Amino acid sequence: MITGLVELFHGTGWCVCQEEYVQEGIKWVPIDYFNNKVVCELIESKTLPGVMSILDDVCATMHAVTEGADEKLLGVMYLICT
């Protein structure tokens, strides 16, 4: 998914860019980037379950219902987080 690409970009792209600036002698103030792998796993994980997995399940079970899906989603999230 997109979050995996974002993680890859942040994990490699910015670090490589900063290393090149240092090697080329360009004045540079290093920036510490948060490793968002934990956030990506929270969103995409199928074993935890992740937010997208929970949303998929709720949508699959509530697909013909016009009301209550949001409450079901919140209920599942509450059960997992407590």
The yes-or-no verdict on residue 26 having pLDDT over 60 is yes
pLDDT in tens, 65-78: 778 888 888 888 88
Domain limits for position 27 = 1-44
Handedness of CA 46, 52, 55, 59 (dihedral sign): negative
**Residues 19, 39: one domain?**
yes
Residue type, 30: P
**Residues 33, 8: one domain?**
yes
The yes-or-no verdict on residue 19 having pLDDT over 80 is yes
Cα distance between residue 2 and residue 17, in whole Å: 21
**Residues 57, 73: one domain?**
yes
**Residues 28, 51: one domain?**
no
Number of domains in the chain: 2
**Residues 39, 74: one domain?**
no
**Residues 74, 52: one domain?**
yes
Cα distance between residue 3 and residue 46, in whole Å: 14
HSE-up of residue 78 (Cα within 13 Å, Cβ side): 6
Q: Which two tokens stand for residue 52?
A: 């997208």
Report the predicted TM-score, pTM, of the whole model to 2 decimal places.
0.47
